[in-house]
Amino acid sequence: MEARAKLLGHPIHQMLIVFPLGVLATSVILDIVYLVAKHDAWTEASYHIIPVGVLGGLAAAVFGLVDWLAVPSGTRARSIGAWHGGGNVIVVALFAISWWLRRSTPSAPGAGALTLAFIGVALALVTGWLGGELVNRLGIGIDDGANLDAPSSLSGAPAVERTAAHRSRA
């Protein structure tokens, strides 16, 4: 099933999710380095990048919702998409709350702020797997007729030439 929201022939949601996932995971790595090295600069950096990940996650969510609404009801893909999207909303919320708890002392976050971020990144691993299940197993966001010799998405040509009978059904 092809994605509804595309840019230059590729699903926007799939393009955008790498940024918030990478930024939020990096914030947790910075927090871990802080816990080991005990140098405030690491949590200061984490504090400043968390909002970037949260905003990126919200932007990706908009396009994910557009694609999810096109998935037929009653399908496994619709159910997994709901878990994927709902879980990612929780991930974003956990990081937003973690950021909020850090605001008064970004260089010395409390245990609660760190715990929320660690739970958020662990949940992101699960929701990321669900996203992979949607794309790789269920074909969500995959171009109809995708094949190893399909023309470039920039060409404007379909992935596979459709027969006259196939065109009349479309």
Domain boundaries, the chain: 6-145+154-169
- pLDDT for 122 equals 97
For 159, counting Cβ atoms within 10 Å of its Cβ (0-12 exposed, 13-18 middle, 19+ buried), the class is: middle
Q: Which residue has the tokens 């009801």?
A: 73
Residue 168's pLDDT is what? 54
Rg (CA), the chain: 20
Tens digits of per-residue pLDDT, 11-67? 788 888 999 999 999 999 999 999 999 999 999 999 999 999 999 999 999 999 998
Task: Examine the pLDDT at 163 and tell me if it is beyond 60.
Answer: no
What is the per-residue pLDDT across 58-116, written as a single tens digit (0 to 9) for each? Answer: 999 999 999 899 899 999 999 999 999 999 999 999 999 999 999 999 999 999 999 99
Query: How many CB atoms are located within 10 Å of the residue 137 CB?
Result: 11
Q: Which pTM was predicted?
A: 0.85
Cβ neighbours of residue 169 closer than 8 Å, sequence gap 6 or more: none
